[in-house]
Chains A and B, each alone.
Chain A
Amino acid sequence: MTDRNRDQSLGWRRRDMLALGLLAGSGTLVGRNGQSIAQTKPATAPAKPRGQVVAGISQEPTVFNPLMPGSEVDQGVWWQIFSPLWYIDPMGRFVPDLAREVPSVSNGGLSADGLTWKIRLRSDAKWHDGTPFTAEDVKYTLELINTPGFRVRNRIGHNLVRDIVIVAPDEIHWRMESAYSPYLSILALTFMVPRHVLAKAEDPNTATFNNRPIGTGPFRWGERVAGDHLLLHAIGSYHGTGPHLERVVFKYIPDLTALYTQFRTGQVDYLGIGGIPAHFAREAEGLKGRRISRSPTPFVEHIALNLEFAPFADKAVREALYLAMDKQARIDGIYYGLPVATESFLPRESWAFEPGLPVHKHDPARANALLDAAGWVRGANGIREKGGVRLSFANSTTTGNPGREQSQQLLQQDWLAIGAEMKISNMPAAVIWGDFWQKSKFESVAVGSNFMIGNDPDVTPRFSSKAIPARQGAGLNTYQYQNAEIDRLLALGASQFDQQERKATYSRIQRLIREDLILLPVYQSVMAEGLKDGLNGFAPNINCSSNCWNMRDWFWAA
């Protein structure tokens, strides 16, 4: 092994990883010590499911009804037990799952105005109890989502569905209240639930199903030992390809060091959903019999600014803070070069990503000049003031996140150098993500967010002036951003069905957000995931909520 090889391995880009994932079946692996190893003998999936994979995770999966509010860890489990109508592959393409084809204007599944949807379903899919999957299940799922008392994760898009008609057991039609192109993406992350089980429950919020689910996915429920693990068994009659593993175990190991140690000692076969801590990533790449995937995530780390907080209402302040921020020092010094600096709220892998945004430059001199020109003068203690308002603010994040806490200290120094005082005020997750965040009670927050809906760039809930929870009570625009042009573009983008036209719209949105700097983008998160050598089929997919999305394709080399 040479240093050059090691450096090359660290430079794996997403398309390389995708290629590896797609080629996994033919045996291309990222080997130990960062080397790319082409196996001498192509690995082929076994004829019958064989062996088990222990997936180590640092959060416990606890929500098993896929329509209810769940974390990425829960979603990793949902992909095994349930199926959507279609999903999005690593290349961003829609692939039919329970549907026979993905509806489009060209195949007649979508009307030209985007209002009528006609879905043809597979007739060979079955629930794990042997009951056939039909259009009744799709209708029930959509209706349950829109049932007022049901504790649903999200109604965005679903609330536009009207007049559902079952044409045949394998065909269902509905009308949309208004054209909404992101719905295709939303449905790619909407798992179908069984009507014949859930409709019998007195209250779907507390149904037995929620702790012993039945789906149409490649694995069926085995056992759950609360606080320890979840065991799933392969289904013999799965409607798709695979599964090739006999069992999948989601092993809950809350301590990240203990999780990594178990990966080192071989008790964990796959360490994902959260990944290997950055400070262990380089060491992990040298482990014998292990390989590391640097998998991009859709999460964009940024400093969220509350625009109703007086100093941040001044655009010169936002620009100056951004110029004074030494991004690369954080990426290299704290995260060991793992994340990728970004200017957009969208990940690079999104079809709508705008690569031509102005590139950030660490320039404290220009930041100082901007503030001077805007009338922010330094007071006796070096902190700037304007009209009696001090350039002093609090920055908050979740306590116990060492990376973010160290980043805050760097930011504090960066910003103090231009006369801006940042006070660190961190809180436990249970505090910060409640009313403090949701009702915009913060001044600034260091946070990582996935702005996309599925793989769709629609950011209406994030940036629309009608989505400010502190004002209207519905939405995620905690920045309290209001821009009439953005509102217009968001409405336009959500009603367009041609991808090129949409790309132009979202490009403009990204430019406006970058220009207004309502959030200070830092980097796109990249996760170091670990796998044992010989485990094939892993394919990181930014378009799904979890890189466990295709465990049905995973298998051990013979």
Chain B
Amino acid sequence: MSAFLLRRFGQAVLLLLIVSMIGFAILHLAPGGPMSQFAAGGEMSQEDLDRIAEQLGLNRPLPVQYAEWLWRMLSGDWGRSYRDGQPVTAIIGSHVGATLQLMATSTLLAMLIGAWIGIVGAIRRYSLFDSLATVGAMVALSIPTFWFGLVVIYVFSVWLGWLPSGNRYTIGDGSLINQIHHMIGPVMVLALVSTAVWSRYMRSSMLEVVNQDYIRTARAKGLSQRSILIRHALRNALLPMITITGLHVPTLLSGALVTETVFTWPGMGRLFLDSISYRDYPVVMGILMFSAVLVLIGSLAADLLYGAADPRIARSG
């Protein structure tokens, strides 16, 4: 076990290093740069602009900039935003909560509803319910998120006036009820697509299991349908879902760019977009590394959970 963890840790460090090098290079080689935000105002002289570039270390060779950034990162200093001078860790910290709140709620909802639809669809294969669920899932997967978000706002906010048209909460009223009220719209949008995805995964996983020999054996033993479903089929069908859940972990914290923008949700997706637009290198690199770590943790957690759930799986590979 410890050898497995040690090997995975070594791989993770190497991967993070490669990701950081590629990310840093792409970001800095892209045209433009953070100095344009100062130049755009049209008030600063070239002399002042050169001085700021010097202070920010932007006029040094790229490998030197990377080495400096890496060294600071390893020593726990993720740098400061070029826009507001705040530490990158504080900026990420202030956005990650909003994203987690939104994504965790919508994912949980989608998993529960999606799993139920998938299970029922698999048990009653080719029934009316299954056909409707299949068509519904295809439609949900095909709808552009931004469009559905705008429709939700138009219908429930502008037309009916039932829901706020955006924001995480009303400023001056951060009560739970107020937050839930604001969450309904974006959660509805995110959960729609996720439910479709989860239902398809669950359906195919369940279908694979219900055709296995041990299910036939269980039926031959005279076990009730309920018992077969819960004790034998469902537990085995959930195994692949663990992997999918693990791989889904990073999206819980890295945000939903489109939905956050449409619903003015101050999460990680919007932060990433804003930071890219302003070429706020420290923040973009911070988010990149944060997301990369989450992907690695998610896949490791999935491996560990999979092993724990199914003792037949050896961790030799």
Given the known A-B contacts A152-B48, A211-B84, A427-B31, are A229 and B171 also in contact in the complex, defined by CB atoms under 8 Å? yes
Whether a CB of chain B sits under 8 angstroms from the CB of A386 is no
Task: Tell me whether B36 and A254 are in contact (CB under 8 A).
Answer: no
- Residue pair A262, B165 in contact (C-beta under 8 Å): yes
Kindly report which residue of chain B lies nearest to residue A447, judged by CB atoms: B42
Interface of A is mostly: loop
Which of A26-34, A101-109, A334-342, A470-478 interfaces with chain B?
A470-478
Nearest residue in A to B169 (C-beta to C-beta)?
A228
Residues from chain B with Cβ under 8 Å of A431 in the complex: 31-32, 36
B214 interfacial contact with A, CB 8 Å: no
Return chain A residues, CB-CB under 8 Å to B266: 225-228, 252
Instruction: Give the distance to chain A from B233, nearest Cβ to Cβ, in Å.
Output: 45
Q: Are B43 and A154 in contact (CB under 8 A)?
A: yes
Nearest neighbor of B182 in chain A, beta-carbon distance: A267
Q: Cβ of B143: which chain A residues have Cβ within 8 Å of it? A: none
- A227 CB contact (under 8 Å) in B38, B43, B49, B94: B94
Tell me whether B84 and A227 are in contact (CB under 8 A). no
In the complex, how many angstroms separate the beta carbon of B226 from the nearest chain A beta carbon? Answer: 48
Bound-complex Cα distance A249 to B47 (A): 36
B98 proximity list for chain A (CB < 8 A) = 228
Contacts of B262 in A (CB 8 A): 255, 258
Instruction: List, in ascending order, chain B residues with CB within 8 A of A437's CB.
Output: 39
Confirm or deny: B189 has a beta carbon within 8 angstroms of a beta carbon on chain A: no
Does A430 reach chain B (CB closer than 8 Å)?
Answer: yes
B317 on interface, CB distance cutoff 8 Å: no
Please classify how large the interface on chain B is, using the bins under 10, 10 to 19, 20 to 34, 35 or more. Answer: 35 or more
Nearest A residue to B267 by beta-carbon distance?
A: A227
Tell me which residues from 224 to 278 in chain A have a Cβ below 8 Å from any Cβ of chain B: 225-229, 231, 247, 249, 251-255, 257-258, 261-262, 264-265, 267
Structural contact, A258 and B49, CB atoms closer than 8 A: no
A210-B85, A255-B261 known; A430+B166 contact, CB < 8 A: no
Measured between alpha carbons, how far is A92 from B41 in the docked complex, in Å?
A: 23
Q: Are A430 and B158 in contact (CB under 8 A)?
A: no
- B39-56 interface with A by 8 A CB criterion: 39-52, 55
Cβ contact within 8 Å between A226 and B95? yes
Contact across chains for A226 and B91 when beta carbons are under 8 A apart: yes
Interface residues of A (CB under 8 A from B): 52, 54, 60, 62-64, 69-71, 148-149, 151-156, 205-206, 210-211, 225-229, 231, 247, 249, 251-255, 257-258, 261-262, 264-265, 267, 427-434, 437-439, 449-450, 461, 469, 473-476
Name B residues whose Cβ lies closer than 8 Å to a Cβ of A.
31-52, 55, 80-81, 83-86, 91, 94-95, 98, 150, 153, 157-158, 161, 164-168, 170-172, 261-264, 266-267, 270-271, 273-274, 277-279
- Top 5 A-B pairs, shortest CB-CB distance: A431-B32, A430-B32, A228-B266, A62-B84, A433-B40
